Amino acid sequence: MSSSPVPRRELKDKAVDLLLSDQFVLYLSIFYVLLLAPFLPMLVTPANLVNVLSNMWPLLIVAIGQTFVLAIGGIDLSQGAAIALTSVLGAVLITGAADPATFANTPIWGWLLTDAGGPLAGVDHGVVLAIAAMLVAAVVIGLINGMAVAMFAMPAFIVTLVAMMIFSAFALWLTQSGNVANLPDDFIRLGRGDIVSVYFGAKEEAKIARRAIYSLVTYPMVIAMCVALAAHMLLNRTVFGSQVLAIGMNRKAAEISGVRVRRIIIAVFVLSAVCAMIGGLLFAARLEAGRPTLGGGSFLLDVIGAAVIGGTSLFGGKAKVIWTFFGVMFYVIMASSLSAMNLSAFQIDMVKGGIILCAALLDVLRTRLKRERVR
Question: Is 286 within the bounds of a domain?
Answer: yes
Q: Is 327 part of any domain?
A: no
Q: Is 255 exposed, middle or buried (0-12, 13-18, 19+ CB in 10 A)?
A: middle
CB 232 within 8 A of CB 294: no
In a domain, 326, yes or no: no
The answer to whether position 217 is within a domain reads yes
54-77 pLDDT, tens digit each: 999 999 999 999 999 999 999 999
228 pLDDT more than 60 = yes
Instruction: For residues 9 and 102, give the distance between their C-alpha atoms in angstroms, rounded to a whole number.
Output: 68
- Residue ranges making up the domain that contains 254: 56-198+209-296+312-318
In a domain, 306, yes or no: no
- CA-based R_g, the chain, Å: 23
Where is average pLDDT lowest: 25-34, 39-48, 191-200?
191-200
Q: How many domains does the chain have?
A: 1
Domain assignment present for 5? no
Task: Reply yes or no on whether the pLDDT at 247 is more than 80.
Answer: yes
Average pLDDT over residues 132-149: 98
Which stretch of DSSP H or E encloses residue 315? none
Candidates 136, 183, 177; CA nearest to 292 is 177
- The pLDDT-based confidence of 359 (bands split at 50, 70, 90) is confident
C-alpha span between 193 and 218 (Å, rounded): 6
In-domain check, residue 62:
yes
Q: How far apart are CA 266 and CA 151, in angstroms?
A: 9
Beta strands in the chain (DSSP E): 194-199, 213-218
Torsion of CA 35, 36, 42, 45, to 10 degrees: -20
Segment 241-263 shows an average pLDDT of 95
What is d(CA 138, CA 134) in angstroms, rounded to the nearest whole number?
Answer: 6
- What's the CA gap between 342 and 1, in Å, rounded? 52
